[in-house]
Structure 1
Amino acid sequence: MTMVEEQVPTREEVSAEDTWDISSLYADQAAWEADVERISNALLPALTSLQGTLANGPEALLAVFQAQEALGMVLEQIYVYASLRADEDTANQHYQALEERAAALSIKVSAATSWIEPELLALSDEQILGYISSLPALEHYRRALEEQIRLRQHTRSGEVEELLAQSGEISRGAQTTFNMFSDADLKFPPIEDEQGKPLEVTMGRYAVLLENPNQRIRRDTFMSIHRTYRQFRNMLAANYATNVRSNIFYAKARGYDSALDASLKPKEIPMSVYDNLISTVHEHLPKLHRYGAVRKRILGVNSLHAYDWFVPLNGAAPTKIDFEQGASLILSALEPLGAEYSSSLGHGLESRWVDRYENKNKRSGAYSWGCYTSQPFILMNYKNNLNSLFTLAHELGHSMHSLMTRKYQPYTYGHYTLFVAEVASTLNEALLAEYMLKTSDDPALRLQLVTQQIDDIRGTLLRQTLFAEFERETHRMVEHGEALTADNLSALYRRLIEQYYGPELVIDEELDIEWARIPHFYRSFYVYQYSTGISAALALADKILTEGAGAAENYVNFLRGGNSKSSIDLLKGAGVDMTTPDPIHRAMNRFGDLVTKLDELTA
């Protein structure tokens, strides 16, 4: 029996209580328009009027920072509102235009304020530090100013900075093209369900259809998606290559050694963290090969394909968990994190943080977002299954990280880096899995949970490291003068699949094109942080469950830290050192232990 409805509702057909409450940002578009006008007519002119004053003394610097913060908070709120509305229905031209207006306004502000860094860095290090010493109110900005000094060599003249800022709208073109093509324009051929009736295939349904016990349905779903992408392989290769070349252009313009260096250095992440991740995972790839053999045996299939990685292994129908049940389970599982965390999370679930279910043309996937002045917002496509339950726990981890950061940090440090972003989300998943294993006597569910943990590490650590290696290599190819074509991108991707998954996986030629449908490749050098994040999260979850309240408080303090310290130092304070390969080794050893447990449970 299929696990999805045959028809996807329109946005208007979805109950309001199942959607996020955008009115907490703006009551209506008129309020949004008022803030757009306020930026253009008041906040931006107020800030630009201060150009040329930074040499006048510490009071002038403080005035610029305060005006910049006032503008930034409003601009962020404008952009989030427009983007959330656009993602509700990617075919709604009105809200797509609204998002474009917000993006254009952001580019305008960026260009108009591009003078700040060059003018600040026209001052000597001694002058900047002297400003801080002479005006106590500037002590608040010490870390931000020291960061400016650290990155001084990568800041260009005011004229060049303005030009780079103005080019921002062009640089996001590849990502915009991919999103519109993938979410709004691309349609997949239907497949037949078990009764021979047509069944619509969408990216929102992709994961749940791959859980179907009928291998034919899994195969047909996989082929429907990937054969459709393959029809556009040359366009998608050209679009991705444009994105890579854009990254390299900005890296060269700012004097970085490479696009990867330009991504890591501003976040104070050593290059060794990225390279060590890949090399350490390579050491443990035989564990993934063994999992492929165990999964093939349990499924009883003659050959193991990419579409066989998600189906439950106990032969029973997947456990059904509706949204309300899932929320209750998550609240119970996260009680070890303390009273403040639990009460804030419960309030959020009752306050329409989550846009729950799929509707026509809704953006696929899931995310948590918001701004400094708002509640968190979660977009997902909940399917009443175990995978959706863990996705909800994952995104709630992001939301609680944002909530805690904004509560305890001023706007200057009220955001966290991408490097630590995935720690809070994957820790929630780890605590949920442990809780459910301890409280369930159902053998089928326990087997699903063991498989869930294995697949979580496979999907979040191993798969994302493969993606990270793909990104590193594609950027290296262009940096060494090699063109990116559909053929060499597919050849590179196939080579990595063969290396990571080993001899048990049959690689259908359709899998070669999978790189073309991965949206995270347009947020370059983002995915490796899933891998480092889950490694840190597994270590911290173990400390919380074994050491109790003290470890939990250290972790919650990490959530409160925002960007007040470097990501590496924040994690050290929580109890894990990501400059060493030890967390990666521990996570991969955990993976190996789980595979052994699975093998024993199903022997």
Structure 2
Amino acid sequence: MTESKTLPLRSQVPIEETWDLESIFPTPSDWEAAGEEITGYIPQLAAYQGKLDGPETLLGYLSLAETAGILAGKYQNYASNYYSVDTTNQRNSARLGQVRSLVSRLAAATSFLEPELMAMGLDVVEGWVKSTPELGFFSHALDKLRRRQVHVRSSEVEEVLAMTLDPFSGPPGIYSALNNADLVFKPAVSSDGGSLEVGQASIGGLITNPDRETRRSAWESYSDGYLAFKNTFASSYMSQLKQDIFNTRTRGYDSSLHANMGPDNIPVEVYHNLLTVFQKNLPIWHRYWRLRREILGLESFHVYDIKAPLSNAKPFVPFKQAVDWICEGLAPLGEACVDVLRKGCLEERWVDRVRNKGKRQGAFSSGTHGTNPFIMMSYDDSLFSLSTLAHELGHSLHSYYSRRTQPFIYGRYTLFEAEVASNFNQAVVRGYLLRTQPDRDFQIALIEEAMSNFHRYFFIMPTLARFELETHTRAERGQPLSADILNGLMADLFKEGYGDEVDFDRDRIGITWTQFGHMYRNFYVYKYTTGISGAHALAKP
């Protein structure tokens, strides 16, 4: 018996299973009108240049900048979220292009602020802040500016740097279009001859399938899809490296790593220590691969076996049940917090949860000042999806309360902090389920979910962090990079991680770096490892 499973078009997805972007702008016309309004703010903001001569003027500028910034955030989030759930829709792509252009113009018009404040003297500005209660909120921003003032350039240079935001969006934009819209994968074939569609929204379920042939053919198809475009991916990534280095040198940082960690006030030693500890403990992972092979009863162990289920009794967890369990697990955070979460998931349509053609890979939480949080994922009625939902709700609750308690300029938190909140949710909910669901198969599935999470954050992400540091270092030294060099480096790093316990398909494993859009967010991936470490330290008590 054969079967064919294909994903629905976006237009076929029930509205109740999508996110409510109309809560941002009721109609596309309203979104267009917001763009025109933002355009009108640009000359008003630019008119303040050279005129910040006192606390009243500074307060007027900051108030106008906040109004424009809040609207721009909504304008951007609306377009970005529409694109994320259907990357094949040309209207969505065009909207995103409009956003990038307008946001770059807005950034250029406001780029004079920090150089001008520094030219006046930060002590003078601090005096304004202390003498004007309405400016009290600006004190922390001033402290942050003091810390990085050596890396702030003149008004003219800052304006040029802001103007690069649009053209410099090329590499991640190219990656997203290729990765989410244009890549086509051969169908996976199950052991009984069934054909299963491989795509960004389905690959996660396929590589956890109990049928080994399904896992193998899905993993090979997915890897081969990326290998077919290895040169395009390499060209895009190398352009991103050059941009990182351009910004690093323009702002006078010692390296791209310093340029990323400095603004967050994190010593680069944190990064190096993480990689040192990871490499030191690789034998633990070697033991884990060996143990999984023995439990599965396999003579050979491949990458596509890493997430093979140890029990065929896969718990069925509908979305409503997942929300109930997450709310019960997070009860220690308080009734008000749980009520916000439940209402967001079940009434306010925070979560876009159905797989469809063109939906981008992975899961994320978004939103901005003045909107609800929004979560994109592909929920498949499994414990893995429950855990992903708990993770993203950690981000969403963090955002919900940050935006309601902090001024606009502080409503965005760093990614270093972000991954603590998300992983904390996962850990607390997992602990609750381990205590309250005694069924043996359920317990096994929970442990598997935990180990899958640890595999991603304590193995995959540190390996990618090693890759990212090495590629930036080579680029900074002017050493050659190409698709084959990048793939070879990735393969070497994974070979060290897998040891002799995992059968090694060098080409398909070497292309792994192309499967993570995180590589276009300079030195992001290590923050997952620090985040989950901090989260478990908090959740343990």
TM-score when normalising by structure 2: 0.97
Amino acid at match of 2:526: Y
Are 1:34 and 2:30 counterparts? Answer: no
Residue in 1 aligned with 2:55?
A: 58
Residue in 1 aligned with 2:531?
A: 533
Q: 2:336 aligns with which of 337, 340, 348?
A: 340
**What is the correspondence of 1:573-588 to structure 2 with a 5 Å cutoff?**
none
Residue in 2 aligned with 1:160?
A: 157
- How big is the shift at 1:391? 0.7
Are 1:423 and 2:420 counterparts? Answer: yes
Q: 2:464 aligns with which of 464, 467, 471?
A: 467
Residue in 1 aligned with 2:289?
A: 292
Query: Cα RMSD over matched residues?
Result: 1.5
> Contact 2:230–2:511 at 8 Å: present in 1 too?
yes
SS for the counterpart of 1:184 is helix
Residue in 2 aligned with 1:22?
A: 21
Residue in 2 aligned with 1:479?
A: 476
- How big is the shift at 1:133? 2.5
**What is the correspondence of 1:227-242 to structure 2 with a 5 Å cutoff?**
227-242=224-239
- How big is the shift at 1:72? 0.6
Percent of aligned pairs with the same amino acid = 39
User: Which deviates more, 433-442 or 418-427?
Assistant: 433-442
Amino acid at match of 1:253: T
Residue in 1 aligned with 2:509?
A: 511
What is the alpha-carbon distance in structure 1 between the residues aligned to residue 65 and residue 322 of structure 2?
Answer: 41
Residue in 1 aligned with 2:199?
A: 202
Query: Quick one: structure 1 residues 434 and 66, their matched pair in 2 at CA, closer, same or farther if it must change by over 3 Å?
Result: same
Residue in 2 aligned with 1:6?
A: 5
What is the alpha-carbon distance in structure 2 between the residues aligned to residue 277 and residue 286 of structure 1?
Answer: 16
> Contact 1:238–1:484 at 8 Å: present in 2 too?
no
Residue in 1 aligned with 2:324?
A: 328
**What is the correspondence of 1:312-461 to structure 2 with a 5 Å cutoff?**
312-314=309-311, 316-350=312-346, 351-461=348-458
What does the per-residue CA deviation read over 1:296-351, in whole Å, with 9 as the maximum and x for residues that have no partner?
Answer: 1011111111111111112x142221111111111111111112211111111121
> Contact 2:86–2:360 at 8 Å: present in 1 too?
yes
What is the alpha-carbon distance in structure 1 between the residues aligned to residue 455 and residue 357 of structure 2?
Answer: 30
What is the alpha-carbon distance in structure 2 between the residues aligned to residue 168 and residue 16 of structure 1?
Answer: 34
User: Which deviates more, 297-306 or 495-504?
Assistant: 495-504
**What is the correspondence of 1:541-552 to structure 2 with a 5 Å cutoff?**
541-543=539-541
User: Which deviates more, 110-119 or 525-534?
Assistant: 110-119
Amino acid at match of 1:514: T
Q: How many residues align?
A: 539
Are 1:171 and 2:198 counterparts? Answer: no
Residue in 2 aligned with 1:95?
A: 92
> Contact 2:190–2:213 at 8 Å: present in 1 too?
no
Are 1:81 and 2:78 counterparts? Answer: yes
SS for the counterpart of 1:244 is helix
What does the per-residue CA deviation read over 1:92-119, in whole Å, with 9 as the maximum and x for residues that have no partner?
Answer: 1111101110111001111122111211
SS for the counterpart of 1:201 is coil
> Contact 1:461–1:532 at 8 Å: present in 2 too?
no
Residue in 2 aligned with 1:548?
A: none
Amino acid at match of 2:393: L
What is the alpha-carbon distance in structure 1 between the residues aligned to residue 90 and residue 400 of structure 2?
Answer: 31
SS for the counterpart of 2:365 is strand
- How big is the shift at 1:352? 0.3
What is the alpha-carbon distance in structure 1 between the residues aligned to residue 530 and residue 304 of structure 2?
Answer: 26
What does the per-residue CA deviation read over 1:105-156, in whole Å, with 9 as the maximum and x for residues that have no partner?
Answer: 0011111221112111112232122222222222210010121122111111
What is the alpha-carbon distance in structure 2 between the residues aligned to residue 347 and residue 197 of structure 1?
Answer: 40
> Contact 1:175–1:522 at 8 Å: present in 2 too?
yes
What is the alpha-carbon distance in structure 1 between the residues aligned to residue 448 and residue 231 of structure 2?
Answer: 37
What is the alpha-carbon distance in structure 1 between the residues aligned to residue 327 and residue 272 of structure 2?
Answer: 37
Residue in 2 aligned with 1:582?
A: none
> Contact 1:319–1:385 at 8 Å: present in 2 too?
yes
What is the alpha-carbon distance in structure 2 between the residues aligned to residue 400 and residue 5 of structure 1?
Answer: 39
> Contact 2:390–2:426 at 8 Å: present in 1 too?
yes
Query: Quick one: structure 1 residues 78 and 5, their matched pair in 2 at CA, closer, same or farther if it must change by over 3 Å?
Result: farther
Amino acid at match of 1:189: K
Residue in 1 aligned with 2:118?
A: 121
Are 1:110 and 2:107 counterparts? Answer: yes
SS for the counterpart of 1:168 is coil
What is the alpha-carbon distance in structure 2 between the residues aligned to residue 7 and residue 481 of structure 1?
Answer: 46
- How big is the shift at 1:202? 0.9
What does the per-residue CA deviation read over 1:357-395, in whole Å, with 9 as the maximum and x for residues that have no partner?
Answer: 111111121100000110000001111112111111111
What is the alpha-carbon distance in structure 1 between the residues aligned to residue 316 and residue 175 of structure 2?
Answer: 33
What is the alpha-carbon distance in structure 2 between the residues aligned to residue 145 and residue 57 of structure 1?
Answer: 15
Residue in 2 aligned with 1:301?
A: 298
What is the alpha-carbon distance in structure 2 between the residues aligned to residue 346 and residue 352 of structure 1?
Answer: 10
- How big is the shift at 1:38? 1.0
- How big is the shift at 1:451? 2.1
Amino acid at match of 2:17: D
SS for the counterpart of 2:166 is helix
Amino acid at match of 2:13: V
What is the alpha-carbon distance in structure 2 between the residues aligned to residue 274 and residue 216 of structure 1?
Answer: 39
SS for the counterpart of 2:81 is helix
Residue in 2 aligned with 1:71?
A: 68
Amino acid at match of 2:533: S
- How big is the shift at 1:194? 3.6
User: Which deviates more, 498-507 or 240-249?
Assistant: 498-507
**What is the correspondence of 1:202-221 to structure 2 with a 5 Å cutoff?**
202-221=199-218
What is the alpha-carbon distance in structure 1 between the residues aligned to residue 408 and residue 4 of structure 2?
Answer: 44
Are 1:131 and 2:128 counterparts? Answer: yes
SS for the counterpart of 2:487 is helix
Amino acid at match of 2:417: V
- How big is the shift at 1:90? 0.7
What does the per-residue CA deviation read over 1:189-225, in whole Å, with 9 as the maximum and x for residues that have no partner?
Answer: 1122343132211121111111112222111111101
- How big is the shift at 1:462? 2.3
Residue in 2 aligned with 1:559?
A: none
- How big is the shift at 1:46? 2.0
- How big is the shift at 1:5? 7.3
> Contact 1:219–1:307 at 8 Å: present in 2 too?
yes
Q: For structure 2, which runs of at least 5 residues remain unmatched after alignment?
A: none
SS for the counterpart of 2:201 is helix
> Contact 1:367–1:395 at 8 Å: present in 2 too?
yes
SS for the counterpart of 1:536 is helix
What is the alpha-carbon distance in structure 1 between the residues aligned to residue 283 and residue 238 of structure 2?
Answer: 32
